[in-house]
Chain A
Amino acid sequence: DAGVIQSPRHEVTEMGQEVTLRCKPISGHNSLFWYRQTMMRGLELLIYFNNNVPIDDSGMPEDRFSAKMPNASFSTLKIQPSEPRDSAVYFCASSWREGGLSYFGPGTRLTVT
């Protein structure tokens, strides 16, 4: 298996632009997580999907952030409009069941100038 796939790996954008991060979970996994990692706050859970349904979005920082999971093999995290403080590494992770071991993708490093 290729593991969790994320794209792009690096994204540089200007403040105010829309940013879309993409994730393909491991086949057969029914739980998907989006995390954000910064030096100041470490790894934080943004949103959790189970069977393509958002279960917990309490970690989404603002309405500028939105996430979708249209099917079991694809999820997006969108930031609109982006701000410099959104600069971070965004990780997607998946597990084969709720409470199961999470496998992380390689991350997307986002820089907003």
Chain B
Amino acid sequence: EDQVTQSPEALRLQEGESSSLNCSYTVSGLRGLFWYRQDPGKGPEFLFTLYSAGEEKEKERLKATLTKKESFLHITAPKPEDSATYLCAVQEVDSSYKLIFGSGTRLLVRP
């Protein structure tokens, strides 16, 4: 069965302490991998889409990378405002619309 697994479930960092979040996936074929940020009481907000192994995308302190089995969301020198739940979702090659979400990583950045 297709599966998207995110780790760790929760992560506490000090401000400035860089780290990475992991999203591993098993699908028959990958159309795209999506990263979303979700703040408490809000809907997921799009961050990145990755389509092929080796691809990288950056936005401010965040960088997403993709391999054939997993994706990493690297957070460099995080700030307290980066605290949120980060969701990973995959779209299979034979589905043009369906996103399969992981359970998310809850990130807390302490000042």
Taking Cβ atoms with an 8 Å cutoff, the residues of A that contact B are 4, 31, 33, 42-45, 48, 50, 55-56, 91, 93, 98-99, 101-107
Contact = CB atoms under 8 A, between A and B. Distances in A.
Nearest to A107: B43
A56 B95 CA distance: 11
A102 B49 contact: no
B44 A43 contact: yes
5 nearest CB pairs, A to B: A104-B43, A43-B101, A99-B96, A42-B103, A104-B44
> Which residue, of A42, A56, A106, has the highest number of chain B Cβ atoms within 10 A?
A42
Interface of B: 31, 36, 41-46, 49, 87, 89, 91, 96-99, 101-104
A107 B96 CA distance: 24
15 contacts: A42-B102, A43-B44, A43-B99, A44-B101, A45-B98, A45-B99, A50-B97, A56-B97, A91-B43, A91-B44, A99-B97, A102-B99, A103-B46, A104-B36, A107-B43
Contact of B98 (A56, A91, A106, A107): A56
A43 B98 contact: no
A90 B51 CA distance: 28
Contacts of A50: 97
Given A44-B101, A99-B97, A105-B43, 14 more contacts: A42-B101, A42-B103, A42-B104, A56-B98, A91-B44, A99-B31, A99-B96, A101-B46, A102-B46, A102-B99, A104-B44, A104-B45, A106-B42, A107-B43
A69 to B, nearest CB: 15
